[in-house]
Structure 1
C-alpha cells in the first residue's frame, strides 16, 4: 500500500483538535483521506474549528477530560476507530522554583498527563486492529530551561508513559511526538503578538532550520506515528535542531 493511502478511509480522533498542533493534525488527516473527529472542552472552539475545517469528513464534540464518565460516553458515541491523537494542553506554570505554588503546580498534570491517561483508558477498547495512540510532550523534557522545572517534570512524565503504555496496550501502538519551538496560540498566554514575533525571529536564527516550527510542520510527525506500523514505544522529536543549538 502506498504511504499516501495508509490513512484513507480510516477514522481518527483528536482530543485537543480545535487549535494549534491538534488542529493542524486534523487538517492533515483530512488531506490524507481519513475521517476526523475533533474534541475540545469548549463548544465555541469546536464550532470555530469545524468552520475552518469545512469538510463532511470532519465532526466535532465537546468533552471534559477531567470526567471519566464524559470520556466514556464520548468514545461510546464515536464508536470503533483507528487512531487516537492527544494534543490537549493548558498553560504551564513558570517561575522560580522556590516560589512555586504547589496547589497550582499540581494542576499542571491534570490536562497533559492524567487527562491523557483517562482518555486512553476510555478509548483503548474501541481502537481497531492496526491502530495507534499518539501523545504529546515537549523538548523541555530532554533539555530543561531555568525556571521551567515543573514543566520539565510534566513533559518527562509523558515521555516515560509512552514506553509503559506501549507494553501494556500492545498490539495497539503507542508513541509520543516531542515538538520543539512551535508558533501556536498557546504563546498568547505568555506574551503579546509583538513580543512573540521578536522571540520567534530571534529563536529561529539559532535553529538549524533557520525558523521556528509551524503547527503544520509538527503535524507530519503525528501522521508518521499513525502510518508507521512498526513503530511503537517511541518518542519522535521535531525540534529544528534545537537540542543541538539552543
Structure 2
C-alpha cells in the first residue's frame, strides 16, 4: 500500500492502522525520507519511505519506479493554506494549494494507473469544507468539492480499479474555538485521526464500493 502524504496527520494514522493489519506500507511525502527513523519508530519496522513532491512529474515518476505494483493507493496530501475571507485571501497561495492537492493528485493517479493491480483501489481525501461552508475557507471548499467530483468521474473512467474518497470533519488536535464548535455536533466532539483512518481501510477492503465519498464528520453536516 502506498500512502502519499503519509508522514503526518491523517495519512500517518492510515499507515499505522494498515501496518497493524499486516499491510506492506510505503510512505511518500516531501519529508518522508528525512523522517525515516521517526516513521519506523511510529509505524513499525520494515516500512519504506520515499521523498515525493506530487507537483513534480520527475518526483512522481521516480517514486513510482521504486514502488512497483500498487494494490492500494491512499492520497492524504494537505497543502499549507491560511484561512482567509475571499476578498482578503492570497490568491497565489490558494492557487498553489489547488495545484498541490487537486492537480497533484491528478498527475499522481495518471502516472500510477498502469502500476495499480486490476483489483486495486485509490482512496482520495476531501473534507467537511467541501459541503459545510465556513467563512474563510473558500479555497479548501472548492478543492474538496472538486476532489469528490474527480472521485466519481474516475470511478467510471478507470474501472475496474475502484476510486473512493474520505471526507473527514474536524480532527484533533484543534484550537479551543473549533473544539467548542464540534461539541454542538451530534457526536459531541472532534475525531481522532485513528477513527477517520478506519474509513480508508474500509474502502480499500470493500470490493463493491466505488465512486463513493465516505463522510466521517460526527454529524457536522446535519447541524
TM-score normalised according to structure 1 size:
0.86
Q: State the Cα distance separating 1:53 from its structure 2 match.
A: 1.4
Kindly indicate whether residue 71 of structure 2 is the aligned counterpart of residue 82 of structure 1: yes
Partner of 2:164: 175
Q: RMSD value over aligned CA atoms?
A: 1.5
Kept in 2, the 8 Å contact 1:18–1:48? The answer is no
Partner of 1:166: 155
- Segments of structure 2 that go 5 or more residues without pairing to the other structure are none
Q: State the Cα distance separating 1:95 from its structure 2 match.
A: 1.4
Kept in 1, the 8 Å contact 2:2–2:70? The answer is yes
Q: SS of the residue aligned with 1:29?
A: helix
Partner of 2:201: 223
Partner of 1:4: none
Residues 102, 200 of structure 1: CA spacing in aligned structure 2 closer, same or farther, 3 A cutoff? closer
* Residues in 1 aligned to 2:213 and 2:86: alpha-carbon distance in whole angstroms: 27
* Residues in 2 aligned to 1:137 and 1:31: alpha-carbon distance in whole angstroms: 25
Q: State the Cα distance separating 1:242 from its structure 2 match.
A: 0.6
* Residues in 2 aligned to 1:149 and 1:63: alpha-carbon distance in whole angstroms: 27
TM-score normalised according to structure 2 size:
0.94
Kept in 2, the 8 Å contact 1:183–1:200? The answer is no
Kindly indicate whether residue 25 of structure 2 is the aligned counterpart of residue 36 of structure 1: yes
Q: How many residues align?
A: 222
Kept in 1, the 8 Å contact 2:81–2:93? The answer is no
Q: State the Cα distance separating 1:51 from its structure 2 match.
A: 2.4
* Residues in 2 aligned to 1:46 and 1:39: alpha-carbon distance in whole angstroms: 10
